[in-house]
Amino acid sequence: MLMRILPEIGHFALIIALLMAVVQAVLPLAGAATRRPLWMAYAQPMATGQFVFVLLAYGCLTASYLMDDFSVVNVANNANSLLPWYYKLSAVWGNHEGSVLLWSLMLAGWGCVAAWWSRHLPRDMLARVLGVLGLISAGFLLFMLLTSNPFERHLLDIPADGADLNPLLQDIGLIVHPPMLYMGYVGFSVVFAFAIAALLGGRLDAAWTRWARPWTNAAWAFLTVGIALGSWWAYYELGWGGWWFWDPVENASLLPWLTGTALMHSLAVTEKRGSFKSWTVLLAIATFSLSLMGTFLVRSGVLTSVHAFANDPSRGLFILVLLAVTVTLSLVVFALRAPRVSHKVGFNWLSRDALLLINNGLLITMTMTVLLGTLYPLILDSLGLGKISVGPPYFNTLFVPLTVITCLFMGLGPAARWKTTSPGELLRRLWLAGLAALVLGALIPLVYRGEWNLWVTLGLSAALWIVLSLVRDLFDKLLHRRSVWAGLRALSLAYWGMVLGHLGVAVTIIGATVVSHYAVERNVRMSPDTRVEVAGYQFTLTELTDRRGPNYLADAAVIEVQRGDSQRRFLMQPEKRLYLATGMPMTQVALRPGLFRDLYVAMGEDLGDGSWAMRIQYKPFVRWLWLGGLLMALGAVLAVADKRYRQVRPARLAQEGKA
């Protein structure tokens, strides 16, 4: 009996969660404004309660999926009784309604963690932070209940079986990519809540930045991993070996990533030096606003993208209102409450302050470029100036130089001191790294390919410059220590976080440069015993077979691969699948991953005479793209673990002492 009303329980739990979110928003914010401790005290229990009820709703929907309850519209449209159980779990968020539920769950989860983790914060600050989070939660829960209810039922004509999950989504990449991305988007809501709370409470001090930094790093790490996973998924699942398409949906995730990166660096200046306070707060607001805007662009049908959700104008309108209210209100609060006179902290042309300022300037330029390129066709169209497209060639033309310029300053930043650095000293410390980067960057394409290439040299030199200047900095830091070990131990986790983060950028740039210029692709006709050579590897088709999977039929090929004259051989087995429920054909590529190269075989179509068209690709260094992303995320996490963020108690004591 209970099992049969699970969707109704879930629906009811969402309503209760909405009510709790409203209480969590209204009472603590009003309490903080009127100094009523009792009202403020509602914040924590409501945040916890909201999370529990959204979790309950999420559990109910998951159960409906696992039990093949096709009376639930959402289940009937996105699952099938033949679907393996793990894809049933991930199918929950493989659609619009379910993904909004996942989004809400994460929002409530972040709020709950914030409520308990930050319980040492001054009471009014905590009340405001949770209040703002409650407002956002209430908006999303209302959105779900009014326009995207995942628990809607088929009242009549309950289908005997479901329509099945889109085959492209039946994959490990899709199991992990959206949750990571959402964790990032949603995580920035906590930073946003801290920013608004600080503005409302007039508490834009060093303590504020210290509270906001770990949350920023955590959200940024999730977003980075999410974007990297999305790129990896597109690489092997779409069947063409591309890894970044400058698609509007990818751009929508890149925008908050860029401003989030700027925010991390700006927070560092604000914490260490007390300058740029207003700018930092504005970045925190902008980052979350761009996350919300991305959600709007992806789900409203305003943009054409291969990744967009099936759209519905009423949903688009609701998110637009949510976006407009959130952003406008927060910008008004910013305009009215931003510090009146900012304290002018002095620094010189060559100083870490100035370099971080340049970093922010460049990142904002990149953000605006992506935004411009994404929206420009829409603007022209609305002005009646015709339809144009803005795609990869445009973005690459602008992004490659911008990235190289950014790298130039990235090499200088860690080596420079706060306030002022003498040019002579910097030159003495870094000339060797700079020279080596240039020479190596120029030589590597010559040695590797026997042909010089300007773009490869630029990319490699930029990456090597980052790495070598980091190495030099480390060397200088260890030079004056008694032993290397003592020196290494003396360095803070925050420093190691920076090193890993920058190293990650360099690794990604190396991957992007090499794979863009040195990938090899060949389309070939293969029949049994055909042998083809690509980039020094011999591919021999040994067998063509049929296979039957749980919910698909497949033509499969077995290809034996051998490198040069080496005796080591391995098999690659690409497939061409036909999914039974949807009738959709899908290419399942065979991948042989490696740190320095991937081999990639995709099966085309039957050419009739017992031979098949195949696409064989050799992708050097492609793994470095995502490896770099992981390093960046790891760096951000290491920095969070730094001990100065664990000492929250004294801050509170000081606040109370002052009060």
Partner 1 sequence: MTRRLLLLLLPVMFLGLALFFYVRLSEDPTGRDSALMARDFPAFEATTLKDDQRRVDQSLLTGEVTLVNVWGEWCPACRQEMPQLLSLADRGIRLVGINYRDTREKGQAFLDEFGDPFAINIFDPEGELGFELGVIGAPETFLVDAEGVIRYHHKGYVSPEDVQGRLLPEVAKWR
Partner 2 sequence: MALIRLISLTVLICLALPAWSAGIELREFDDPVTEQRYRDLTASMRCPLCENQAIDDSDAPISADMRDRVYQLLNAGQSDTEIIHHMVQRFGDYVLYNPRLERRTYLLWGLPVGLLMVTGLVVALIVRARRHASTKALTSDEQARLKALIERKEAP
**Binding positions for partner 1, 280-299, rule CB under 8 A:** 289, 296
Asked if 605 is part of the footprint of partner 2 (rule: CB under 8 A), the reply reads yes
Is the CB of 311 or the CB of 516 nearer to partner 1?
Answer: 311
CA 378: distance to chain centroid?
25
Q: How far is the CB of 375 from partner 1 (least distance, A)?
A: 8
Under the binding rule (CB under 8 A), the answer on residue 353 touching partner 2 is: yes
Residue 372: both structure tokens together: 């411009």
| Residue 590 contacts residue 598 (beta carbons within 8 Å) | no
Q: Is 113 in the site for partner 1 (CB under 8 A)?
A: no
The residues in 570-589 that bind partner 2, with binding defined as CB under 8 A, are 585, 587
492 binds partner 2 (CB under 8 A): no
Q: Which of residues 509-568 bind partner 2 (CB under 8 A)?
A: 521, 523-525
Residue with Cβ nearer partner 1 (381 or 533): 381
528 binds partner 1 per the rule CB under 8 A? no
The candidate with the shortest Cα–Cα distance to 282, out of 395, 210, 382, 364, is 364
Q: Give the whole-angstrom CA distance, residue 333 versus residue 329.
A: 6
Q: Which one of partner 1, partner 2, none interacts with residue 435, CB within 5 to 8 A by kind?
A: none
307 binds, among partner 2, partner 1, none (CB under 5 to 8 A by kind): partner 2
Binding partner selected for residue 345 from partner 2, partner 1, none, CB under the kind-specific 5 to 8 Å limit = partner 2
564: which residues sit within 8 A by CB, 6+ positions away? 536, 537
Q: Which of 335, 368, 435, 439 binds partner 1 (CB under 8 A)?
A: 335
HEC sequence for 213-244: HHHHHHHHHHHHHHHHHHHHHHHHHCCCCCCC
Q: What are phi and psi of 229, to 5 degrees?
A: -65, -40
Residues of span 466-485 touching partner 2 by CB under 8 A: none
Residue 140 in the binding site for partner 1 (CB under 8 A): no
Residue 643 interacts with partner 2 (CB under 8 A)? no
Question: What's the gap between Cα 626 and its chain centre?
Answer: 12
We find the least distance from the C-beta atom of residue 435 to partner 2, in angstroms, to be: 26
Measured CA to CA, the distance from residue 203 to residue 196 in angstroms comes to: 10
608 binds partner 2 (CB under 8 A): no
Contact partner at residue 8 from partner 2, partner 1, none, CB < 5 to 8 Å by partner kind: none
**Residue 352 amino acid letter:** R
Which pair of structure tokens corresponds to residue 299?
A: 């789900």
Give least dist CB 608 to partner 2, A: 13
Binding residue for partner 1 (CB under 8 A) from 304, 527, 542, 647? 304
Residue 264 is encoded by which pair of tokens?
Answer: 């991390």
Of the candidate spans 66-74, 313-321, 495-503, 533-541, the one that interacts with partner 1 by CB under 8 A turns out to be 313-321
Total residues contacting partner 2 by CB under 8 A comes to 90
If one asks whether residue 656 binds partner 1 (CB under 8 A), the answer comes out as no
CA 166 from chain centre, in angstroms, equals 23
Shortest Å distance, C-beta 346 to partner 2? 4
Nearest CA to 76 among 85, 64, 86? 64
Q: Does 336 bind partner 1 (CB under 8 A)?
A: yes
The H or E element containing residue 36 is none
Q: Does 310 bind partner 1 (CB under 8 A)?
A: no
Of 394, 448, 537, 645, the one binding partner 2 by CB under 8 A: 394
DSSP string over 405-426: HHHHHHHHGGGSPSS---HHHH
Pick one of 354, 400, 437, 639: the residue that binds partner 2 (CB under 8 A).
Answer: 354
Whether the CB-CB separation of 264 and 214 falls below 8 Å is answered with no
What burial class does residue 123 get, using C-beta atoms within 10 Å of its C-beta: 0-12 exposed, 13-18 middle, 19+ buried? Answer: buried
Q: Are strands 569-572 and 575-579 parallel, antiparallel or unpaired?
A: unpaired
| 546 bridge partner residues | 555
Q: Nearest 5°: CA angle at 68, between 65 and 69?
A: 90
Q: Say whether residue 379 binds partner 1 (CB under 8 A).
A: yes
Other residues' Cβ atoms within 10 Å of the Cβ of residue 425: 13
Q: Which is nearer to partner 1, 322 or 436 (CB)?
A: 322
Q: By CB under 8 A, what part of segment 264-283 binds partner 2? A: 273-275
Point out which residues bind partner 1 (CB under 8 A): 289, 296, 300-304, 313, 316-317, 320, 323-324, 327-328, 331-332, 334-336, 338, 378-379, 381-382, 386-387
